[in-house]
Amino acid sequence: MALTARQQEIIDFITHYRQQQGIPPSRREIQKHFGFKSVAAVAGHLRLIEQKGALTRTSGIARGLRLTNDINTELGSIPIYGAIPAGPSSPQTQSDEGCVRVDLESLGLPKGIRTFALRVRGDSMINAGILDKDIVILEFKAPFDGAIVAALVDGETTLKRYVVQNNKPYLKAENPRHRNILPAQELIVQGVMVALLRKES
């Protein structure tokens, strides 16, 4: 069944967003981009696109959109290395909390990717769609401007957006109640976020 012009525009936006950000857009980001009156309107469009076979949505996974007609499940085990503050940075020791089993394809992750997971603690990234108790999946790779990263800044860990301004990086909070973090001495990026998991209530 053919897509309407609007449905194709949504598909194109999801594709472009993932290419730029490394993760699919949230429903609210789709709403904002197209000027829909509500998130429910976005859900309606996504449901119709899914019915036409151009999109799959994974239950229980935030941003769980995948543009494909062919569902081939490839499960992977990603180690959980404890929690990370999404608020003021704080001393944090990594701990092994086992693994989370995920459908790699539904997350848009290639087989063999080097990843780890952290549980989110705090609300400094809510405007990026990352909530307290979410699980972020991160890839071991160099950061890029605008990426969401797990970072060690002056000996303390935090989850923030990595921003480069005047050739100097800093960590941006996605909640106006929290301050941005400028490293005094050291900023080490431990991983770049590539996917987000959310337990359904």
160 catalytically annotated: yes
The active-site residue out of 95, 124, 168, 201 is 124
Instruction: Answer whether residue 101 shows pLDDT above 90.
Output: no
Say how far apart CA 120 and CA 134 lie, in whole Å. 5
Query: Is the pTM of the predicted complex or chain greater than 0.75?
Result: no
- Tell me the per-residue pLDDT of 26-38, one tens digit each, with 9 for 90 and over: 889 999 999 999 9
Q: Do the beta carbons of residue 133 and residue 120 sit within 8 Å?
A: yes
Concerning whether 124 is annotated as a catalytic residue, the answer is: yes
The single residue of 89, 106, 160, 172 carrying the catalytic annotation is 160
Instruction: Tell me the domains of the chain and their CATH numbers.
Output: 5-66 (1.10.10.10), 75-197 (2.10.109.10)
Checking if the pLDDT of 74 tops 60, the result is no
Confidence of residue 71 (pLDDT cuts 50, 70, 90): very low
